[in-house]
Amino acid sequence: MSEFNFELFKKRLNIFLEKIEGFGGETDPLTIEKPATEEEIKAVEAKLGYTLPPHLREVLLENTAHLEFYWSIYTDEDEDEEDEGLLPDELAEISCAELLFGLDLLLGYEESRKSWAEDVYSDYRNAYDRVWHNKTAFHQVGNGDYIAIELEPENYGKVVYLSHDGSENHGLYIADNFKEFLMNYAAVGCTGGEDWQWEPFYTEGKGIDPACKNARNWYKILNIDPASLR
């Protein structure tokens, strides 16, 4: 079992909410509901037809059954000025952040993912199509993409990006497991979930990497002491 510190995870989320407000952006209240019961999880698993990946199951059972996190650098008043150079070029695509997952959302996410897999990407022999198959989608991206957990035996449990429109990041593994994803994603403020927003923090072989150069620059811009995230 990977190390997972839920209190530190929440601390990271709250630090970014505070700093984004200080940066002049907008935030939504952090929503963290109580954990699910074993019976509630089994009821969803019965409808899915399989047991949830262990790390996702443990977070839902031990930490929270539903979480909502969102911020935007730009307010309604300055949306038309997003290209005014608030961020350096390497981070210029960042505009907002979102993390939304929950036991109550899984069936809907999975219904949508399966629809994409059956109706649009049905050829399992095709490398691009195959990425849409045998996953547990846990986060729906605003542009129609998904962040999911791999169910194929070779890379079981890894967190993978599912693109519906030809992104080069389609099929990219961005964490070794769900808990690692939560910790690392929170450490960069959950930028995205569109891939072009978290891509500056991606390091090959590591996934979303809070220790990368762009992450260090991101902390300086928001006046975040990296030690406060540890």
Q: Is residue 1 part of a domain?
A: no
70: β partners: 98
Gap between the Cα atoms of 210 and 187, Å rounded: 6
Q: Is residue 43 part of a domain?
A: yes
Domain extent, residue 220, equals: 6-229
pLDDT of residue 84: 58
Mapping DSSP to helix (H, G, I), strand (E, B) and coil, where does residue 8 land?
Answer: helix
Q: Are 189 and 97 in contact (CB under 8 A)?
A: yes
Gap between the Cα atoms of 222 and 185, Å rounded: 16
Query: Which helix H or strand E contains 12, and what residues bound it?
Result: helix 6-22
Per-residue model confidence as pLDDT tens digits over 171-198: 999 999 999 999 999 999 999 989 999 9
pLDDT of residue 79: 52
140: β partners: 146
Alpha-carbon distance values, 131 to 12, 91, 116 (Å)? 31, 28, 11
Provide the domain count of the chain.
1
pLDDT of residue 26: 96
pLDDT of residue 167: 87
Which token pair is 107? 């069936």
pLDDT of residue 80: 52
List of the chain residues with pLDDT < 50: 1-2, 82-83
pLDDT of residue 1: 39
Which token pair is 173? 């593994």
Determine the residue type at 88: P
**Which CATH number fits the domain that encloses residue 40?**
3.40.1580.10
Q: Is residue 92 part of a domain?
A: yes
